[in-house]
Amino acid sequence: MFKRWLYFLFALALAGGVQAQGATVSPPVQSEFSRAELLVHAPNGVTPGQPLWLGLQITHAPDWHTYWKNPGDSGLPTELEWQLPAGITPGDIEWPTPRKFPLGDLANYGYDGTVLLPIPLRVGADFQGQTLQAEVLASWLICRKECVPEEAHFQVRIPAQLSTAAHAAAFEAAWSAVPIEQAPGNSRLHVTSDGLEVVLTGLPPEWRTRPLELFPEKAGLIEPGAAWQQRWDNGVWHATIPLSRFRADSPDTVALVVAPANPPGTGPGLRGVRMEVPVPDGWPPVAQAGSGASAALQAALAENAARAAAATGPSTTTLTLWAALLGALVGGMILNLMPCVFPILAIKVLAFSQQGNNHGAHRVGGLAYTAGVVLSFIALGGLLLALRAAGEQLGWGFQLQNPVVVASLAVLFTVIGLNLAGLFEFGHILPSSVASLQARNPTADAFLTGVLATAVASPCTAPFMGASLGLAIALPTGQALAVFAVLGLGMALPYLLASWVPAIARALPRPGPWMETFRQLMAFPMFATVVWLLWVLGQQSGIDGAAALLMLLVVLALLIWALNRGGKVRTVLGPLSLLGLAWLLWAIGPTVTRLQDSVASFAPTSIEGVAWEAWSPQREADLLAQGRPVFVDYTAAWCVTCQYNKRTVLNHPDVLQTFADKRVVLLRADWTRRDPVISASLAALGRSGIPVYVLHGPGRTPLILSEILTVEEVRSAVQQLSL
Q: What is the pLDDT of residues 649-700, one digit of tens each?
A: 998 999 999 998 888 999 998 877 667 778 778 877 777 667 889 999 877 8
Task: Give CA–CA dist 149/597, Å, rounded.
Answer: 13
Among 36-45, 193-202, 395-404, the minimum mean pLDDT is found in 395-404
Task: Give CA–CA dist 134/82, Å, rounded.
Answer: 8
- What average pLDDT does this structure show over 88-113? 89
CA 525 to chain CA centroid, nearest Å? 28
Among 178-182, 450-454, 524-528, 719-723, the minimum mean pLDDT is found in 719-723
Helix pair 359-389, 462-474: axis angle to 10 deg: 60
Say if CB 188 and CB 278 are below 8 A apart. yes
Say if CB 654 and CB 367 are below 8 A apart. no
3-state secondary structure of 126: coil
Structure confidence at residue 78 as a pLDDT band (50, 70, 90)? very high
- The DSSP 8-state label assigned to residue 647 in this structure reads I
- What average pLDDT does this structure show over 509-524? 71
pLDDT at position 463? 44
Cα angle 456, 578, 449 (rounded to 5 degrees) comes to 25
| Residue extent(s) of CATH 3.40.30.10 domains in the chain | 602-719
Give the helix/strand (H/E) hosting 174: helix 168-175
CATH architecture assigned to 181-278: Sandwich (2.60)
Residues linked to residue 133 through DSSP beta bridges, in sequence order: 157
pLDDT over 80 (residue 714): yes
pLDDT over 70 (residue 17): no
Which CATH number is 16-178 given? 2.60.40
Task: Give CA–CA dist 678/682, Å, rounded.
Answer: 6
pLDDT over 50 (residue 436): no
Task: Give CA–CA dist 462/452, Å, rounded.
Answer: 19
Sheet holding 106-111, edge to edge: 66-72, 106-111, 99-103
**Residue in 150, 149, 141 with CA at minimum distance from that of residue 108:** 141
Average pLDDT taken over every residue of the chain? 77
Burial of 343 (0-12, 13-18, 19+ CB in 10 A): buried
Task: Give CA–CA dist 562/576, Å, rounded.
Answer: 10
Task: Give CA–CA dist 680/560, Å, rounded.
Answer: 44
Structure confidence at residue 426 as a pLDDT band (50, 70, 90)? low
Question: What does the pLDDT look like over 321-368, one tens digit per residue?
Answer: 676 677 677 777 776 766 656 666 666 666 655 555 666 777 888 888
Task: Give CA–CA dist 47/503, Å, rounded.
Answer: 81
Question: What does the pLDDT look like over 288-303, one tens digit per residue?
Answer: 433 333 344 344 334 4
- What average pLDDT does this structure show over 459-483? 57
- What average pLDDT does this structure show over 43-55? 85
Tell me the C-alpha to C-alpha distance, in Å, between residue 554 and each of 411, 539, 581, 584, 651.
Answer: 10, 21, 9, 11, 35
pLDDT over 60 (residue 597): no
Question: What does the pLDDT look like over 205-255, one tens digit per residue?
Answer: 999 889 999 999 988 888 888 888 999 999 899 999 998 877 778 888 999
Tell me the C-alpha to C-alpha distance, in Å, between residue 687 and each of 462, 472, 679, 683.
Answer: 9, 10, 9, 5
Tell me the C-alpha to C-alpha distance, in Å, between residue 560 and each of 430, 566, 579, 584.
Answer: 10, 11, 13, 16
Residues 6+ apart with CB under 8 A from 138: 36, 38, 56, 78, 79, 80, 151, 152, 153, 154
Say if CB 150 and CB 142 are below 8 A apart. yes
pLDDT at position 347? 62
Is the alpha carbon torsion for 507, 510, 514, 517 positive or negative? positive
Residues 6+ apart with CB under 8 A from 620: 293, 297, 630, 632, 667, 696
Say if CB 215 and CB 258 are below 8 A apart. yes
Which CATH number is 602-719 given? 3.40.30.10
pLDDT over 70 (residue 624): yes
550: left (phi over 0), alpha (psi -120 to 50) or beta: alpha
Task: Give CA–CA dist 94/99, Å, rounded.
Answer: 15
pLDDT over 50 (residue 518): yes
Q: Which residues of 360-384 are buried (b: 16+ CB within 10 A; e: fewer)?
A: ebbeebbbbbbbbbbbbbbebbeeb
**Residue in 277, 39, 269, 23 with CA at minimum distance from that of residue 162:** 23
pLDDT at position 56? 95
**Percent of the chain predicted with pLDDT > 70:** 74
Say if CB 473 and CB 679 are below 8 A apart. no
Task: Give CA–CA dist 149/153, Å, rounded.
Answer: 14
Number of Cβ within 10 Å of residue 714's Cβ equals: 24
Say if CB 273 and CB 180 are below 8 A apart. yes
185: left (phi over 0), alpha (psi -120 to 50) or beta: left
pLDDT over 60 (residue 430): no
Say if CB 634 and CB 678 are below 8 A apart. yes
Structure confidence at residue 286 as a pLDDT band (50, 70, 90)? low
pLDDT over 90 (residue 198): yes
| Residue extent(s) of CATH 2.60.40 domains in the chain | 16-178, 181-278
pLDDT over 50 (residue 11): no
pLDDT at position 38? 92
Range list of H helices, 422-522: 426-429, 432-435, 437-440, 442-457, 462-474, 477-500, 502-507, 514-521
| Strand-pair category, 630-635 with 692-696 | antiparallel
Question: What does the pLDDT look like over 366-423, one tens digit per residue?
Answer: 888 889 888 888 887 777 666 555 444 444 444 556 677 778 778 877 887 887 787 8
- The DSSP 8-state label assigned to residue 505 in this structure reads H
